[in-house]
Structure formats: C-alpha cells, structure tokens
Structure 1
Amino acid sequence: MNNANAALESLPEFANLSAEELITKLDQLPADKKTVLRNNAGGHANHSLFWKGLKTGTTLQGDLKAAIERDFGSVENFNAEFEKAAATRFGSGWAWLVLKGDKLAVVSTANQDSPLMGEAISGASGFPIIGLDVWEHAYYLKFQNRRPDYIKAFWDVVNWDEAAARFAAKK
C-alpha cells in the first residue's frame, strides 16, 4: 500500500477511502494516478478478501448454498465453472464468485483487477463473495506449475462462513 498511499498524497478527497471503496472510483481519478492505484489498491483489496476467505473446517450451507444451487443448478456445476475460470485465466489474475444484482456469477479478472472496478475497467462486475488468486506466486511453492491441483485444493480451505456473511450483507 506504500505506492497507493504515495499516489493518494495529492488526492485528499480519496485519501480516506478504503481500498475497496477506492477501486470502485477509478474512473474518477486523474489519468496519472489511475494505474498505480488500480494495481496497488486492487492488489490490497483482492488479497484482503482472499486471506479472510481461507479457513479449514467450514461448510457451504444455508442461503449461499441455496443461491448457488439456484444459479448454477448444483454445487458441482458451480465448482466446475469456478475451476474453469481459474484454470483458463491466462497469466496472472483471479477467479471470483460474485453477486450481480440478485444472481450469483463466476467471473475472472487479470492481474490485480477486481469485479468492484466494473466492466469498463476490469472486464467484470459484481460484489465478490469468494476470490481465488491464480498468480503463480500463490501456488508455486507447494504446487509448482500445477495450477489445476492448486485450484482443486482451494475447496478444502474456502471459508464458507466468511463467504456466507459477504453474501448476506449484499443480498
């Protein structure tokens, strides 16, 4: 966040926003600050969600499970769509389960882009419920170049309690 904070020194009207709030306002930023804030605030927001979204021993249940079954047909269909989005993201980026209006969707974004940035900037939109970091640094030490194995292992550590809380806060 040092680079983001430095960029914000000349933008007092944006300085007190959270990273999540800031990345929703990228279109309002001066051109010379947009890229540094897109990358640095985007990375901070994405990783903050990612780390909170990891925990063993939780179970997908309740309203979030029902919504996944409604919007994807089954949990298995959702898993397959999410895994495909993560596996086919060329280079570095993220796979997301997002809430778009009253429907869940799977999207992916490049680099440190977030669905919170909107379609025009990130090519995706929606409120992130879960996110998976598919930058090579996220999995290389344990999985080397086996991204599909890393993606499958993600299901063992999804913090479904956090995901359910994020879903409940926005539905």
Structure 2
Amino acid sequence: MAKHELPALPYDYNALEPYYDEQTVRLHHDAHHKAYVDGLNNAEAKLAEARDKSDFSLIKHWERELAFHGSGHLLHTLFWNNMKPNGGGPATGKAAELIEQHFGSFETFKKQFSAAAVAVEGSGWVVLCYNPAFKELSILTAEKHQNLTQWGVAPLLTIDVWEHAYYLKYQNKRAAWVEAWWNLINWDDVNRRIEAMLA
C-alpha cells in the first residue's frame, strides 16, 4: 500500500505575510498537517493488518481514525492551495458567475461564509462546495474534519478555523483571522477546481 506524503507548500513559509505569519504557517504545515498524514498512514496500516488477521475487534476505532485523519489531510491540502501571495479580492471567472447565481452577490456570499466560519463550534472548517446532485454551490461547516458534510460534494474553497491555524498571531480572535484570510484567496485555484467539476 502506497504511503501518503505531506505535500510541499506551493509558496515559501513567509509568503502569506502579513495576513498569515511565517511561524504559524511553518507549525501548521510541518507539525499539524504532517500529523494527519501520519495518522492516515497508520489507520490504513492497522486496517490492512486487521484484514490480514481477520480480526476486526477494533474496526470502529480505526474507521474513525481513517475518516478523521484522511479528511484532515485532504482539507489541509485544499487549504494551502486555496491561498497565494497577493491573493484575495472578489471572485473571478466561473467562481464569480456561480457565486452570483447561487448567493445573489459576492458580498452576500462573503458575509454568509464569514458568519459560518466564526460560528463553527469547537474546531472545524467552512467549505464552499459544488454539489453535482443538486447542481448548486453550498457553504458547509465541518466540525473536526469530517462531521456535518454532505455526500458527493466537491470542495472548492476552505478556511481552517481550528485554533492551531491562527492562534499565534490572532490569539482567540477568530473573526480577525477570517477577515484577514479573505486577502489570501487564490481564485485561480478555485476556478481550476470548478472547471474540473463541470468538465
């Protein structure tokens, strides 16, 4: 079974300053994201071992670990690519068109997304998704990494609102982190994901 690896950041650790500080980016990527990659590899190895031994006594535990760490790895990978130096501003391209169609305006979308990000209970995420079954965009929250989602959605844009994502610079001011993050969005990446979904 191939091992999952921590992907390199698509920019330098300090490239997102002043909105996202180098120390937090380094710790968040190299320690926290790596822990989810390691946890995913461990869960897959333990499940393979369970199959080999035909011993599924701990199946509930390892399936939970698989969901938690696997989702953590996927969301963090999306998160890093959704940001870029000199990013932000209103949506562009197909993203702008779909946001206007499904939310009425970019400003309305931004208000709903920000409100959801501030309101997530405990540790979690907010994700702009495309639901091919409904043929619409949705803003979903995820507690931990995997709870409260919808089956079949394709995540397009996400913000991490676990405290480890922002605490060194923003302390307990989650709303300030959310507001700063809007200056980092890589709309080119979001548009690539949309085009792949609609192809």
Tell me if 1:4 matches 2:29.
Answer: no
- 1:16 corresponding residue in structure 2: none
Report which stretch shifted further, 68-77 or 102-111.
102-111
1:168 shift after superposition: 0.9
2:74 to 39, 45, 51: 45
- 1:98 counterpart SS class: strand
What's the TM-score once normalised by structure 1's chain length?
0.80
1:82 to 113, 118, 121: 113
Percent of aligned pairs with the same residue? 34
What's the TM-score once normalised by structure 2's chain length?
0.69
Superposition CA RMSD, Å? 1.4
In structure 2, runs of 5+ residues without a counterpart are: 1-36, 49-58
Alpha-carbon distance in structure 2 between the residues aligned to 1:32 and 1:149: 36
1:10 shift after superposition: 4.8
Number of equivalenced pairs: 146
- 2:166 counterpart SS class: helix
1:111-126 → structure 2 map (5 Å cutoff): 111-113=144-146, 122-125=147-150, 126=153
1:109 shift after superposition: 0.5
- 1:34 counterpart SS class: helix
- Once the two structures are superposed, residues 28-77 of structure 1 have per-residue CA deviations (whole angstroms, 9 ceiling, x without a partner) of xx423211111211111110110111113345211110100010000000
In structure 1, runs of 5+ residues without a counterpart are: 13-29, 114-121
Alpha-carbon distance in structure 1 between the residues aligned to 2:177 and 2:46: 41
1:11 shift after superposition: 4.3
Contact 2:47–2:62 (CA under 8 A) maintained in structure 1:
no
1:7 shift after superposition: 2.1
Larger radius of gyration: 2
- 1:95 counterpart SS class: strand
Alpha-carbon distance in structure 1 between the residues aligned to 2:79 and 2:66: 19
- 2:162 corresponding residue in structure 1: 135
- 2:65 corresponding residue in structure 1: 36
Tell me if 1:95 matches 2:131.
Answer: no
